[in-house]
DNA sequence: GAAATAATTTGACGATCCGTCAAAACTCGC
DNA sequence: GCGAGTTTTGACGGATCGTCAAATTATTTC
């Protein structure tokens, strides 16, 4: 036991389970993703399924975790973008954009597990991992904001900490993306290009805070484009291919 | 049949059902709110339940609708606040705040029904009503923004329509409130007073857009307080009583 | 290589819940 | 008090989750 190849066999099987589960979630939604169907999709039985995951919610959480990890990686790459603090924050915004465009369905499953309804049926370990991912994303943003303060490019008003600003930017973006998932909602509101609107809103907010250089002094849309091209060339191509299909 | 008193009897029963359902949702969550338990709570059987609601999701939607109606009413009252456009928008913000503080649980059920997962199992009529409420709220905000444009207090940048700005403010606020529902999330992010942070963020955003009078020229926190006192005196007292309990 | 032992897999099963529907209970005009 | 029409009921079918004793497979021992 504990043979090295066995570990890998388990790993492989777990990936297979998640692959099937994700497809089911995609095609038939949360209620359509049943444990029996997943078991039918892999060549193992339901019992074996439960050796990998504590519950159906745990499977969902594992899917969400994959998303969170991916986003975290996007954020980490974006945080290394070359440029001043506000440019790097813009790159983070681009990363979130791209993540959302590439994985709109992951995004949904992610939101689900945050509804403490499901939280109780999830294994502690996985829950912690999700938390760590979220914390890391937040930390990256907070760090950039702190850098801007150090560089005297940003002076936050009293009572607003870097963590709070990160929370706000996060909320604005995720809230908007969540509303976008609502079909027909945007049309009803007369919103044409929601992603661009979010971009603009974030920049306007930062302008309002006086984060230098202001967007009147610097073309942050160009910065975002550069971030796309330099940090995420492959993913950007993917998005455009998907869009023109 | 169709006797006037009978109509009222049906109405009364429906309210009773929703009262019981809401308590169950509050105490035991979505999965704990079973149709059998609701039936046990009222003095009718499950079959009768299904004469009022098409499905369990329909019950949930009805609960969410009650919330949406309440919020819509809050918004309508706030929109009549005396003052310039930005002051009225601030009053809308106060209304949303108050709504969230008074009905944090309603807020959750509301979010649920937007996850098109459930949408299919909801009666068309109720779905429409929810849509109408949302549209009305959005319309009120859009109207105020348009007023500001007419009064030349606001000049939106190219590509940003009043509807888009309303969408952004809405997303920022609801996104933040949604994150607040996540227990432990705020602490981890180092956010002390999230509601105040949202307020500040909205004002900063409007400042960034140059919506006159700017917050440097006008104390919008005082305006919010006035809105609380003038439009929602009773509800404000409720919130403070609940907070100091 | 065979037998004994340990680990793993299986799928039938209990429990729960949703939504239905035939039968029972009830209403109301006569 | 009777009977047609209406409303209510709760047992039931179907679906799903998670379990667990039995079956199968792997590993060790002799």
Q: Please determine, for residue A204, whether its predicted confidence score (pLDDT) is greater than 90.
A: yes
Least confident range of A124-128, B34-38, B98-102, B179-183: B179-183
Residues of A in contact with B208 (CB under 8 A): 203-209
Whether residues A126 and A159 fall in one domain: yes
Residue A223 lies in a domain: yes
CA B29 / C1′ C17 distance in Å: 15
Whether residues A84 and A34 fall in one domain: no
Of B101 and A1, the one with more pLDDT: B101
Residues of A in contact with B206 (CB under 8 A): 208
Whether residues A185 and A112 fall in one domain: yes
* Measured torsion, CA atoms of residues A8, A10, A11, A16, in degrees rounded to the nearest 10: 130
Whether residues A84 and A201 fall in one domain: yes
A2: pLDDT confidence band, cut at 50, 70 and 90? very low
Whether A109 contacts A25, CB under 8 Å: yes
Residue A58 lies in a domain: no
CB-contacted nucleotides of strand C (7 Å): 7-12, 16-22, 28
Compute the mean pLDDT over every residue in chain B, rounded to the nearest whole number. Answer: 92
- Highest mean pLDDT of the ranges A142-146, B124-128, B157-161: A142-146
Residue A59 lies in a domain: no
**Residue in the structure block whose two tokens are 């929370």:** A167
Q: In angstroms, what separates the C-alpha of B233 from chain A's closest C-alpha?
A: 27
Residues of B in contact with A189 (CB under 8 A): 138, 163-164, 166-167
Q: What is the CATH number of the domain that holds B18?
A: 1.10.10
Whether residues B65 and B29 fall in one domain: no
| pLDDT tens string A228-241 | 999 999 999 998 88
- Position B182 scores a pLDDT of 81
Whether residues B99 and B161 fall in one domain: yes
Of A243 and B51, the one with more pLDDT: B51
Whether residues B40 and B61 fall in one domain: no
> Is the shortest CB-to-strand distance from B56 to strand C under 7 Å?
yes
Q: What is the CATH number of the domain that holds B162?
A: 1.10.357.10
Angle at alpha carbon of residue A108, lines to A106 and A109, rounded to 5°: 70
Whether residues B163 and B91 fall in one domain: yes
- The number of distinct structural domains making up chain A is 2
> If you measure CA to C1', which residue is closest to nucleotide D28?
A1
- Position A1 scores a pLDDT of 43
> Is the shortest CB-to-strand distance from A128 to strand D under 7 Å?
no
Whether residues A84 and A161 fall in one domain: yes
Whether residues A211 and A146 fall in one domain: yes
Asked if A131 lies within 8 A of B205 by C-beta distance, the reply is no
Whether residues A90 and A176 fall in one domain: yes
Q: What is the CATH number of the domain that holds A113?
A: 1.10.357
- Position B2 scores a pLDDT of 46
- Position A5 scores a pLDDT of 63
> Could you tell me what percent of chain B has a pLDDT over 90?
77
* Structural domain of B6: 1-52
Whether residues A125 and A31 fall in one domain: no
Residue A224 lies in a domain: yes
Residue A57 lies in a domain: no
């Amino acid at each position: 036991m504990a043979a090295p190849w066995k570990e890998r066999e388990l790993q492989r099987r777990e990936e297979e389970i998640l692959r099937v589960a994700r497809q089911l979630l995609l095609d038939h939604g949360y209620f359509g993703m049943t444990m029996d169907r997943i078991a039918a999709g892999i060549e193992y039985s339901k019992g074996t399924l439960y050796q990998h995951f504590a519950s159906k919610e745990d499977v969902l959480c594992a899917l969400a975790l994959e998303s969170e990890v991916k986003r975290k990686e996007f954020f980490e790459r974006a945080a290394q973008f070359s440029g001043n603090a506000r440019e790097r924050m813009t790159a983070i915004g681009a990363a979130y954009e791209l993540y959302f465009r590439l994985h709109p369905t992951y995004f949904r499953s992610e939101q689900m597990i945050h509804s403490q309804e499901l939280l109780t049926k999830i294994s502690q370990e996985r829950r912690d991992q999700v938390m760590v991912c979220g914390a890391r994303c937040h930390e990256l943003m907070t760090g950039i904001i702190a850098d801007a303060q150090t560089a005297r490019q940003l002076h936050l008003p009293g009572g607003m900490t870097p963590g709070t600003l990160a929370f706000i930017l996060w909320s604005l973006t995720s809230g908007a993306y969540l509303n976008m998932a609502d079909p027909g909602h945007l049309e009803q509101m007369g919103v044409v290009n929601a992603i661009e609107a979010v971009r603009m809103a974030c920049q306007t907010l930062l302008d309002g805070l006086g984060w230098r250089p202001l967007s009147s002094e610097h073309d942050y849309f160009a910065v975002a484009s550069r971030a796309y091209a330099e940090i995420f060339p492959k993913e950007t191509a993917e998005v455009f291919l998907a869009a023109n299909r």
